[in-house]
Chains A and B, each alone.
Chain A
């Protein structure tokens, strides 16, 4: 079976390669950063197991490592590699020569991942199954990437080490932005356990006029947007806002349809996701990947869509929930 832990090891191999290439290029800050994250990835499952068994030292060390990584990123010791294309002529020639064959491996990742994901219930033999039943997407993605790498090496006739050199180049270009989504998700966890969610719901509950249906609907929608923007994730905002506003006021007091309120509340939260740098994997990482000068460039292009759609959603919620 392709267990999740193999996937983490594969990822830590890619990260460790970046550490090695940076070490050889004497970029000490970058090397330390990638080495730390590679270790956390490789040891992740045993760290969580130790934590469950009551040994908190490994998780505390990870906490310290996270602080060190943040300091490396914030102090400028970690340098982002410039996105220079030194061999533009060679690339051009190779693009001419290979043509459409270049599309094959690029499309292989989504295609193989999707096919494996769809086939995963059938890839079983007795008790043996190719993917864990609980989470087939992640191993399918990993296998898709492996197949695509093999094809890409065949098409481009590059040596295997070239693949790791290229991934290290891209990692140094992405720099700490690639770790930010993980860190933000972790912050969401910290906020939850320190009671930030309950405090926000309490504050909003105090200021809205509860006997007006419209005011409650608008407050729920705006609350979902605001809290999603703070947490960077509509999933984190949903239980807090729905438990704080929608359930007691819209559903119990005003008799709204819970299915409509739930679905549209979540989708209104998604509009908040389009607006916040806290949703780094959707908004900041693409800006870095596309080499935009303005790290909020993607958010700027999404803002008008998000605002118009949020207004539409709140109106839909009002008219459909109390039909």
Chain B
């Protein structure tokens, strides 16, 4: 076996560690591992081009941008903030924990496209989180605002990742089944999805605790006398 193609991995790690432009790092890493595997330059262009055209789905996020842009132009984020600020019982942890639970439950039924960074987090959840955080810490500084928004995006990811695996027809479950069946082990998708349930609960508990701790941190910072 040849270990030279691993140089491509080293190129990725080094590039990200040096914080070079990720587009350049990725393309360079592709060529490094291509040359290490002894491919000719025309072959490498063809390989890169084919792989790129075959994976267009992630860019479908652009289809949501006209709607999100129009609504933002009309003040959607402003309105979302004002609405949350007016609900006296709404706190950051209640908002985000409910959102995570919703995302996990819907994901378990295969409804994963219901949320996402462009569909729900930027227009709704992030501004709402900021407004909710302001209730705990009225003078939210820039760094806390950043961390609150990042937490909203993180909560979206955790809810998505650890809900969808419980869904029987989800790609990961089918991938596991196909892999085993190619190796002579026959399993029903249901038997695989079943074992994702303990992790779904563990993910919910761990991340919910972290959200509560985050809010507690905001409160403590707000209670401290200003230096």
Contacts and interface: CB of A to CB of B under 8 A. Distances in A.
A282 B157 contact: yes
Contacts of A258: 180, 185, 187
Interface string B44-83: 1111111111111111111111111111111110111011
A162 B74 CA distance: 11
Interface stretch (A24-32, A92-100, A214-222): A92-100
Contact of B161 (A200, A251, A270, A287): A270
Contact of B153 (A239, A278, A286): A286
Contacts of A208: none
B202 interface: yes
Nearest to B113: A113
Interface in A56-99: 56, 58-67, 69-71, 73-74, 91-96, 98-99
Contacts, number: 421
Interface residues of B, number: 113
Interface string A42-59: 001001100100001011
Contact of B118 (A37, A181, A289, A292): A289
Contacts of B78: 91-92, 95
B73 A60 contact: no
A113 to B, nearest CB: 5
A203 interface: yes
Q: Chain B at the A interface: mostly helix, strand, loop or mixed? A: helix
Given A63-B47, A183-B52, A274-B157, A289 B75 contact: no
Given A95-B75, A235-B175, A110 B119 contact: yes
Contacts of B199: 263-264, 267, 309, 312-313, 316
Interface residues of A, number: 144
Q: Which 10 A-B pairs have the closest CB atoms?
A: A166-B69, A95-B75, A63-B45, A62-B49, A189-B51, A63-B49, A74-B24, A263-B195, A186-B51, A181-B58
Interface of B: 1-3, 5-6, 8-9, 12-13, 16, 20-24, 26-27, 29-30, 33-34, 36-37, 39, 42, 44-76, 78-80, 82-83, 111, 113-115, 117-124, 126, 146-147, 149-154, 156-158, 161-162, 165, 171-173, 175-176, 179-180, 183, 185, 187, 191-196, 198-199, 202-203, 206-207, 210
15 contacts: A102-B74, A106-B67, A106-B123, A117-B113, A183-B52, A186-B54, A191-B9, A194-B37, A247-B183, A264-B196, A266-B176, A280-B22, A289-B121, A300-B150, A316-B198
